[in-house]
Structure 1
Amino acid sequence: MHDVLLGFEKFKDISLNDPFFDSLKSDYGEFAEWFQKKGDHQAYTFRDAAGLLDGFLYLKQENGPVADTIPPLRSSHRLKIGTFKINPHGTRLGERFIKRAFDVAIHLRVEALYVTIFSKHSALVDLFLRYGFVQEAVKHTDNGKELVLERRLDLVWNDVVRDYPRVPIGVGRHFILSLYPQWHSRLLPDSLLKTESSSILQDISHTNSIHKIYLAAMSGIEQLRRGDTLLIYRTADGGSAYYTSVVTSLCVVEELTNINNFATVESFLAYCAPYSIFSDSELRTFYQNKRYPWVIRFTYNLALSKRPNRKALIEQIGISANMYWGFFQISTSQLEHILQLSGDHEKTRSLVYSS
Structure 2
Amino acid sequence: MKNLKYCSFSEVDLDDPFFDSLKLDYKGFEAWFGKKTLADELAYVFYNSKKAIDGFLYLKAEAGGGDEIVPPLPKARTLKVGTLKINAHGTKLGERFIKKIFDHAISDRFEQIYVTVFSRHQSLIDLFERYGFECYATKITADGEEQVLVRRMKSLVGDVVKEFPLFGFDDRNYYLLAIYPEYHSAFLPDSILNNENHDIVQDVSHTNSIHKVFISGIVRTKVMKAGDLVLIYRTSDGKGKAYYRSVASSIGVVEEVRQIKSFSSEAQFIKYTKPYSIFTLAQLKDYFTNKKKSYIIKFTYNAALKKRIIRKRLMEECMISTRTRWDFMSLTEAQIRWVAAAGEINESLIIN
TM-score (norm 2): 0.95
Partner of 1:273: 274
- Tell me by how many angstroms 1:140 deviates: 0.6
Q: Take 1:99 and 1:124, find their aligned partners in 2: how far apart are those partners? A: 14
**SS where residue 257 of structure 1 aligns?**
strand
User: 2:213 is matched with which residue?
Assistant: 213
Residue in 2 aligned with 1:297? 298
Partner of 1:28: 26
In the alignment, does 2:260 pair up with 1:262? Answer: no
Q: CA shift at 1:52, angstroms?
A: 1.9
**1:219, CA displacement in angstroms?**
4.4
Residue 156 of structure 1: how far off its partner (Å) = 2.7
Please give the secondary structure, in 1, of the residue aligned with 2:102: helix
Q: CA deviation at 1:32?
A: 0.8
- Counterparts of 1:345 and 1:303, CA distance in 2: 10
Structure 1 residue 322 displacement after superposition: 4.3
Q: Which runs of 5+ in 1 are unaligned?
A: none
Residue in 1 aligned with 2:47? 47
CA separation in 2, counterparts of 1:66 and 1:304? 37
SS in 2 for 1:76: coil
Paired residues of 1:65 and 1:75 also in contact (CA < 8 A): no
Name the counterpart of 2:75: 75
- What residue number does 2:311 align with? 310
8 Å CA contact 1:65–1:76 kept in 2: the answer is no
Distance apart, 1:223 and its partner CA = 0.7
Q: What does 1:148-297 correspond to in 2, within 5 Å?
A: 148-237=148-237, 238-297=239-298
> Contact 1:177–1:233 (CA<8 Å) still a contact in 2?
yes
**Cα displacement string for residues 206-231 of structure 1 (whole angstroms, at most 9, x for unaligned residues):** 11111111100124212111111011
Of 283-292 and 270-279, more deviation after overlay is shown by 270-279
Select 2:6's aligned residue among 5, 8, 20.
8
CA distance in structure 2 between the aligned counterparts of 1:312 and 1:301, rounded to whole angstroms: 22
Shift of 1:171: 2.1
Q: Distance in 2 between matches of 1:265 and 1:113?
A: 40
- State the number of aligned residues: 349
Q: TM-score, normalised by structure 1?
A: 0.95
CA deviations 1:299-319 (Å, max 9, x no partner) are: 111111111111111111011
1:86 & 1:225 partners in 2: Cα distance?
33
**Which residue does 1:352 correspond to in 2?**
351
Alpha-carbon offset, residue 28 of structure 1: 0.7
Deviations 1:260-281 (A, max 9, x none): 1122211211211121111221
3-state DSSP class of the match of 1:74?
coil
Q: Which moved more, 1:265-274 or 1:221-230?
A: 265-274
Cα deviation, residue 293, structure 1? 0.5
The one-letter code sitting in structure 2 at the alignment partner of 1:207 is T
C-alpha deviations, 1:42-78, integer Å up to 9, x for none? 1111112332211111111223464330111121101
- Output the CA distance in 1 between the equivalents of 2:64 and 2:57: 22
Per mean C-alpha deviation after superposition, the further-off stretch among 318-327 and 86-95 is 318-327
Whether the 8 Å CA contact 2:154–2:351 is kept in 1: the answer is no
User: 1:323 offset after TM fit, Å?
Assistant: 2.9
Distance 1:322 1:200, change over 3 A: same
Task: Give, in angstroms, the shift of residue 189 of structure 1.
Answer: 1.3
User: What percent identity do the matched residue pairs reach?
Assistant: 45
Residue 298 of structure 1 aligns to which amino acid in structure 2? Answer: F
Cα RMSD over matched residues? 1.5
Partner in structure 1 of residue 86 of structure 2: 86
Which residues of 2 match residues 64-143 of structure 1 at below 5 A?
64=64, 66-143=66-143
Q: After superposition, give the CA deviation of every residue in 1:94-126 in whole Å (9 maximum; x if it has no partner).
A: 011001111111111111111011111110100
| AA at the equivalent of 2:19 | F
Provide the secondary structure at the position in 1 that maps to 2:309. coil
Q: Which residue of 1 aligns with 2:17?
A: 19
**1:36 to 1:345, Cα distance in 2 relative to 1, 3 A:** closer
The answer as to whether partners of 1:219 and 1:327 remain within 8 angstroms in 2 is: no
Residue 337 of structure 1 corresponds to 338
Q: Distance in 1 between matches of 2:4 and 2:17?
A: 19
More deviation, 336-345/95-104: 336-345
Q: Is the 8 A contact 2:117 2:148 kept in 1?
A: yes
1:258 and 1:4, CA in 2 relative to 1: closer, same or farther beyond 3 A?
Answer: farther
CA contact (8 A) 2:221 2:295 kept: yes
Structure 2 residue runs of 5 or longer lacking an equivalent are none
Amino acid at match of 1:82: G
**Cα–Cα, structure 1 residues 290 and 192, in superposed 2: closer, same or farther, change >3 Å?**
same
